[in-house]
Amino acid sequence: MASTRAFSTSWLLFTSSVVIFATLCAAISPYAPGLSEDFYAKSCPQAAEIVEHYVTKYLKKDSTFAGAFNRLQFHDCWVGGCDGSVLLNSTATNSAEREAHVNFGLRGIKEVDEIKAALEYHCPGVVSCADILIIAARDATVKAGGPWWPVALGRKDASESVDLLADANLPFPVFPFPLLVQNFARKNFSAREMVVLSGAHTIGQTHCNGVLPHLYNFTGGNNATDIDPAMNKGFATFLKKLCPQGNRTNTLFLDSTAGKFDNAYYKNVLAHKGIFITDSTLITNSLGKKLVTSFAKAKSTFFKEFADGMVKMGNLGVLTGSQGEIRKQCQFVN
């Protein structure tokens, strides 16, 4: 009888320890519930390899696609969560996120469709469009010389996409420092994390649409010579040649080493050569300037914190389990 009670007590203590251990592991997991690094290990073990193959193909053709894939993750996750909604087409009764002002010039949709088609061929109905965006952003960053980070998978795709939600959630390229801090705080990101993730502008290209407010009529006085006073005047003259007044569609590189993921972005910002107002504004605040200076000197610190920021971003508003769907084509709901 005594031995039975002793066994029962020991078993209770053991099971309690297991529960506590599992709870602690869940509490310290860097991933949202339902996501795991081995999610497709059995259902589509070649998924990551397929995505990497196509990302490599696109970057060999155009190195600025590294920036495009980074932008897709950010513009997807920041609007309702990482659910692939940024990829959906508009319909006769709805204007999708892609039509939002803040998504002008968004690239990579067709390329994601091609990746999805390959995954559907090998593993039909298994890998979500939302997960493709997460893998592609990581792989593109690494292939451009940037940091690697683990990707947890298992997201489902949303069935709704609204342009007004994109304009209400994403930061516009004219935001000053306080508005950037406020915007990131809504997603539970700190000012430091905002400055870190701004470093994504070290790769890729942009259209003049987001640059023009920097160069013309900065104070709203209808004066073509009225440039952002925080910008290097010689650099402003250079940009005006690339972006004549009124030209929204010309393209230009985001920094001096646009095909390489490095910390040159921060050096450019310190030299008053930020492409967007959101870049230049980082050094108008004492904390922002301190962080920009730090990352300009310490590439390894920037790389580590950027990777952490991308993992954290990938947890935003995910749909898992019975939520959402696995789209057959990324631009259309099933």
- 157 vs 68, 114, 154, 257, 325, CA distance in Å? 20, 17, 10, 34, 5
> Pick from 233, 234, 258, 236: which is nearest to 245 by CA?
236
Do the annotations mark residue 85 as ligand-binding? Answer: yes
- The burial class, CB within 10 Å (0-12 / 13-18 / 19+), for 165 is middle
Q: Write down the H helix ranges in 144-201.
A: 163-169, 177-185, 191-198
126 Cβ neighbours under 8 A, 6+ residues apart: 40, 43, 44, 47, 119, 326
Out of 53, 75, 122, 214, pick the active-site residue.
75
Task: With beta carbons less than 8 A apart as the criterion, state whether 96 and 169 touch.
Answer: no
Q: At what angle are helices 299-313 and 129-143 packed, to 10 degrees?
A: 170
23 among annotated binding-site residues: no
Does the annotation list 256 as a binding residue? Answer: no
Active site residue 214: no
Q: Is 193 flagged in the annotation as binding?
A: no
Helices and strands (H and E) in the chain: how many? 14, 2
Flag whether 255 is marked binding: yes
**Sequence-separated contacts (24+) of 268-272 with Cβ below 8 Å:** 269/296, 270/296, 271/232, 271/235, 272/230, 272/231, 272/232, 272/235
CA nearest to 334, candidates 116, 122, 149, 185: 116
The answer to the question of whether 81 is labelled as a binding residue is yes
Is 62 marked as a binding-site residue? Answer: no
Q: Does 201 show up as a binding residue in the annotation?
A: yes
Tokens coding 119 = 């995954």
The Cα 170–Cα 162 span in angstroms is 13
Q: What SS3 class is residue 5? A: helix
Task: Estimate to the nearest angstrom the gap between the alpha carbon of 227 and the chain centroid.
Answer: 29
CB atoms within 10 A of CB 107: 18
Q: Is 262 annotated as a binding residue?
A: yes
Residue list for the binding site for substrate: 171
Could you list the active site residues? 75
Residue list for the binding site for Ca(2+): 76, 79, 81, 83, 85, 97, 202, 255, 257, 262
Residue list for the binding site: 76, 79, 81, 83, 85, 97, 171, 201-202, 255, 257, 262
